[in-house]
Amino acid sequence: MSWRPERPEGGDEPRPIGGALDRVVRRFGAPSVSALDHVFTHWDEVVGEGVAAHAQPLSLRNGTLVIGVDNPAWVTQLRLLGDELLERLQAAAGAGAVRTLEVRVRA
């Protein structure tokens, strides 16, 4: 007998993939797909164009957002803006999605 996928209740009707993706990303320590979308896709809107021109999100795991900057001066700038950025990110992605920031200079 060959393997066959289990049919969910409702038969062959298409189902949204969001729930399955949420389960997968949470296993890797990431927040919901919606939270990831707000951080990575809407970065410019959340942090502003001036910051976004020099800083980009690299990863988000277990509440820590790693941000890459193009110049060491931006490490200091983002540390000064840290509380404000956290407030904006939490408002966009949801409370608890981003709890700390880690800023690194990109090579």
Mean pLDDT of the chain: 85
Q: pLDDT by residue (tens digit) across 51-100?
A: 999 999 999 888 999 999 999 999 999 999 999 999 999 998 888 889 99
What pLDDT score was predicted for residue 6? 64
97 in Cβ contact with 60 (< 8 Å): yes
CA distance 104 to 56: 10
Q: Which helix (H) or strand (E) holds 69?
A: strand 64-69
What is residue 97's predicted lDDT score, i.e. its pLDDT? Answer: 87
- Decide which of 40 and 32 is more confident: 40
Residue 103, H or E segment: strand 100-105
CA separation for the pair 14, 1 (Å, rounded): 26
User: How high is the pLDDT of residue 12?
Assistant: 66
Mean of pLDDT values over 10-23: 69
- Looking at domain 18-105, its CATH class is alpha beta
| pTM (predicted TM-score) | 0.74
